[in-house]
Structure 1
């Protein structure tokens, strides 16, 4: 039974369905970015006020990763997917009826919360169906978020230009219900108890080698996640503004951001393959070191070509970091708690992105440039590296650590 469960033909079919669901469910966190200029013009608000819906989206997305993850542990992925899909569609509907920026922001909170089902909870679910290839499976599932950000803005651009942002949200609401709900029922099969027992035996051995309880390890990974994502947010959130300051304009910055996302997808796939060979901790450590180097390369780079190159290098370095946390959770923690544990750690990484985006802007306001903001990211990245080195050395001291 176990041999036919992990890494089986059904496992790969389930992964393909998971990726499709993720690409649709995650559209909510990117759509608000696409419609932001139209929203600002319609409501006649400042750029800061126009950003509030995005902020509320990310707050909902962060908390949803933990709460929805716990729901998946308790009720399974199918009913949770159905409820979240209907919630996302309802959030889009409320947004379409919004008459103010505050009403739109509250609607986006609902959209963000529902959208979270397409990230941490789906990653946790697919991790149960793989052992030898868990790393690449998690990486592919996590790529749905970036692919959603790369594909949906292109799909929605024409609708937005011709019919406005409310029509855009109507398309998204229909797509969410028509795609996510039917595919959710295709994921009804449950992992057999024997497969759970095999996975938990491997995770228990790794947990004993680290000498940490699941709660202590989750908190440690949460701190590490904040550190790496404060660093990660500096280029991702501020590259457009940085290009404007250098005189290259926002279009160039948007191209660099797209380059980061494309590189991020490649990075996630490469990191997934590495994780299957090296384990999650070593893979995350390598990614974090690479990210620190990429951040350092931004410091002397202000020429156009060099910024394009460094942005691609940054994308290739950082994309695999966040999925590596999910792999570490599955390698060290009980399988039946995967949704909640993965959700908690990914919630911390999203909070790190939010904190880092604000912090980099504040440093810019104080210093008048982004140089110290890049250094700030490098320091926070160093904290993440230190935690991973400590965890790796502790595991080696207590026992040989193997990929689960």
Structure 2
């Protein structure tokens, strides 16, 4: 191996900084609002469907923002794009502490998603993948485990902050923490060293044996839309579902916190699994796990059972996003990787926004969460069908390449 192609030690700084940035930023953006649903309903009299539209606005902003910011990071570098994103996101949460109208929340969260979280997720994940040539599944698993930690920790901490400081205080403290913690971490990010000519030639040879990038992006976009519709229902509506059973906000928040703590192990484990059995098989395994279990939350009645079920569900569900990201990394060339991530993840956030919103809407229409969780399970089944067809195509292409 050319000396310039040895994996540099600094790659672990990139992974650590990325995991921490994703923990706070994605935890707040993706499902941090779940802790605010019932308090905002009680304080303002808004329906849950209207409140979840705040989350919808933020995720739609993230979806469209990632489509722009991924290629921008390729041109300008990871650090300036991510640094701008964490500043915008922190300022938007600070501003949310002083607004009281729904349209103001919608606007702020869309801005925070587009210019904030959208400038963080695709560039960070592309950077982690590009710093690793060996063990990329494990590296992405660690980084995405940070996101899992945030998606469990932020709602739990938000529940505590709301209880102590109210809705406005919780938003303000979250914004201040973002600015204080994420700006220094963003300054640690940088692009990987230039690869040697020999390795670039090897990349070109591998690209000839891949499916066309357009095919990969189209099928992965359809699949991730459906899998995110499935996963977003518990992420956004498990806390209110538990509260509807008569348990406190703190108890409900602690269940999803435990679930997503286990998800840290799950994301790392499925990243390692992807390194062993392949990215798409690992993705399908995680999706099947999530799909088989998601509707079961409807039948859980006591808090102890919620903890137990969430632990089992959380380990398997966690591998889905790791599988998606590693699959994109393995199926696309480096020159188009950030753009591919931006497009595919855009559709993922579409699915997440749709799933979260339909959960609140169907609750308002039916008075319970049965229909919402049934839609989640159906979306998971359709996702498995699409990913299985992509896997068969890649296997046929690999077989043809070996026979040639």
CA contact (8 A) 1:159 1:168 kept: yes
What SS is found at the alignment partner of 1:192? coil
Match of 2:189 in 1: 187
Please tell me whether residue 390 in structure 1 is matched to residue 389 in structure 2.
yes
Matches within 5 A, 1:313-352: 313-352=312-351
Q: CA deviation at 1:179?
A: 3.3
Tell me how many residue pairs correspond in the alignment: 398
Structural RMSD (CA): 3.3
Distance 1:22 1:273 in 2: 20
The residue aligned with 2:111 is 110
Structure 2 counterparts to residues 5-404 of structure 1, below 5 A: 5=5, 7-29=7-29, 31-35=32-36, 45-113=46-114, 114-153=116-155, 160-161=162-163, 163-194=165-196, 197=200, 200-201=203-204, 204-207=207-210, 212-244=211-243, 246=245, 252-295=251-294, 297-298=296-297, 302=301, 305-361=304-360, 370-400=369-399
Q: C-alpha separation between the residues in 1 aligned to 2:226 and 2:369?
A: 18
Alignment deviations for residues 228-264 of structure 1 (CA, whole Å, 9 cap, x no partner):
2222233333334444555556555434322321222
TM-score in terms of structure 1 length: 0.85
The answer to whether the 8 A contact 1:287-1:318 is kept is: yes
1:393 offset after TM fit, Å?
1.9
- Any gaps of 5 or more consecutive residues in structure 2? none
Q: Secondary structure at the match of 1:26?
A: helix
How far does residue 108 in structure 1 lie from its aligned partner after superposition?
1.9
1:8: how far off?
A: 3.1
Contact 1:65/1:346, CA 8 A, preserved across alignment: yes
C-alpha distance in structure 1 between counterparts of 2:51 and 2:346, whole Å: 24
CA displacement, residues 352-390 of structure 1 (integer Å, 9 cap, x when unaligned): 122223344555566665455444333322222122222
Per-residue Cα deviation, 1:111-149 (whole angstroms, up to 9, x for no partner):
222023343321111100112210011111112222223
Normalised to the residue count of structure 2, the TM-score between the two structures is 0.85
CA 1:249–1:83: 2 relative to 1, 3 Å: closer
Aligned CA distance change for structure 1 residues 199 and 284 (closer, same or farther; 3 Å): farther
Contact 2:156 2:254 (8 Å CA) reproduced:
no
**Structure 2 CA distance for aligned equivalents of residues 42 and 371 of structure 1:** 26
